[in-house]
Structure 1
């Protein structure tokens, strides 16, 4: 009976800790590192602020955990999307899959990843080590994607693959600063991003796997050419 009671208490404690983290991610993604206060986190979590200290020693420890979890989750999500692909899919299409998985996760699914993306540069030095390690692991996923595409001859030969990779990831991350649902659907954004990436980095002989769903334009009809009147 004591073991069962202990298990229930542990489960309740785990749920409370997760609720605090969820609320911290929500606040951090909107107010940033400097503006995130424990009172705001507690209010969102429907707790008394002192209760947070039972789970986290300080505001900084809580924020650090949110940042680390955010980086871990985006990496796991993209890897899962890539692992679900057929083994014979082209490397360039694996990049396009990663583009979609990244955008949908940071913009629709996860407050944690939005918080991590927006605040990575704001962390004090002593809080960066764990977050940087997770960011490096995620960067390695993208590095492998671009290395494979280059080896397959699917990237433009004059590109710096490393610079191209960082530009693509930077553009994807920046969407958290400007995109919202009033600017169009996430589906349209994904298609646009994939099209830009495909057109910008793929070798000329590499054909796109993206289906164009835009309405077909009516064919232009050429006006009949008038015969010149020849005068004597």
Structure 2
């Protein structure tokens, strides 16, 4: 049996601290995704995490530091989720099918799988620049993946000649991101939303 490198009490304390910090991040992502940056208060996060509000300052110096950590984690997770979804496709997957898979990954992640993704989509453009700086690096990388997808469509002759690849990409992502403002499960199954979005995106981009 391998030896423990820390005392049991210290290890337990570290583990409890890490769990509490993770719970605070999860709670902040949940509140940010629903109330936005301006409407998010530490008391709301504390209530969601089931801790006393002053305890937050043990883990994060300020509300802004907590928000920054959430948005960065969410942006990195969005990029990784899209990369994984595309990597799971066969190497010879046509460009249009890769875009359809990206649409599904984007919507499912922000609407169903991740409060962090919702927090990023709803707040990235509202944050002061210092809070968004790290997240913007990941968001830029995410947009670069989409740039490559649309460029592949153009390179294979499947992009409408009257469509600017850059404008088309931004319009598509803007429409997908806007879904966090109106969708809820009572409006119908998410699979239906994804199917409609895939159809509309591909019909808009291709000849």
Summarize the alignment of residues 43-192 of structure 1 with structure 2, pairs less than 5 Å apart: 43-192=47-196
2:17 maps to what in 1? 13
**Cα distance in structure 1, aligned partners of 2:83 and 2:5:** 41
Deviation for aligned residue 1:45: 0.6
Deviation for aligned residue 1:4: 4.1
2:46 maps to what in 1? 42
- Give 1 or 2 for the bigger CA radius of gyration: 1
Report the TM-score when normalising by structure 2: 0.94
Report the TM-score when normalising by structure 1: 0.84
Summarize the alignment of residues 26-37 of structure 1 with structure 2, pairs less than 5 Å apart: 26-37=30-41
Number of aligned residues? 203
Deviation for aligned residue 1:2: 7.1
2:27 maps to what in 1? 23
Which stretches in structure 1 are left out of the alignment for 5+ residues? 204-232
Q: Which has the higher contact order (CA 8 A, sep 6+)?
A: 2
1:214 maps to what in 2? none
- Deviation string 1:39-97 (CA, Å, 9 cap, x unpaired) is 11111111111211111111000011111111111111111000000000101110110
Q: 1:3 aligns with which of 3, 6, 11?
A: 6
Contact persistence 2:33–2:116 (CA under 8 A): yes
Structure 1 segments (4+ residues) deviating >3 Å:
none
Which stretches in structure 2 are left out of the alignment for 5+ residues? none
Q: CA RMSD in A?
A: 1.3
Q: Which has the higher helix share?
A: 2
**Cα distance in structure 2, aligned partners of 1:172 and 1:99:** 8
